[in-house]
Amino acid sequence: MRVYSSKSDLSNGRRRLVELMQELGFGRIEGLAICASEPVLDPPPTIIREVKFTAQNGPRDERRLDDFVLKVPVVELFHEFDRLRDGVIAVLTIKHGLPFHMDVSHKAGAR
């Protein structure tokens, strides 16, 4: 299993996904394809931004940094990508710019 400790350890696609999650803040990413364990962002998945009234809705401050230590939910997300290899993340729920929950779409009998 690969080790991910900082943003600089990530492939370009994974860095772009981290930045997308940080920019989104709260919401969902729908229809995210995974190919050879890497997120496919072209064509872009559907982004559903959640707006909470009287709450912080902006992007995370880390998005401006070139490198930082990855938080546990991000590391767990990428370990799931490694395990999945190929498939579609039907829904990836983002809270505070971090992955919170995902629903994976795959054919019956496939892992």
Instruction: Going residue by residue through the chain, which has 111 residues, state the pLDDT in tens, using 9 for 90 and above.
Output: 677 789 999 999 999 999 999 999 999 999 999 999 999 999 999 999 999 888 776 666 666 767 888 999 999 999 999 999 999 999 999 999 999 999 998 777 665
Look up the pTM and report it. 0.87
Q: How many domains does the chain have?
A: 1
Q: Which domain holds residue 59?
A: 7-105
Query: Would you state the pLDDT for residue 1?
Result: 63
Does residue 1 fall inside a structural domain? no
Does residue 111 fall inside a structural domain? no
Identify whether 59 is preceded by a cis peptide bond (ω within 30 of 0). no
Does residue 44 fall inside a structural domain? yes
Q: How far is CA 102 from the centre of its chain?
A: 9
Does residue 37 fall inside a structural domain? yes
Does residue 77 fall inside a structural domain? yes
Does residue 2 fall inside a structural domain? no
From the list 29, 47, 39, the residue with the least C-alpha distance to 90 is: 29
Rounded Cα gap, residues 94 and 98, in angstroms:
5
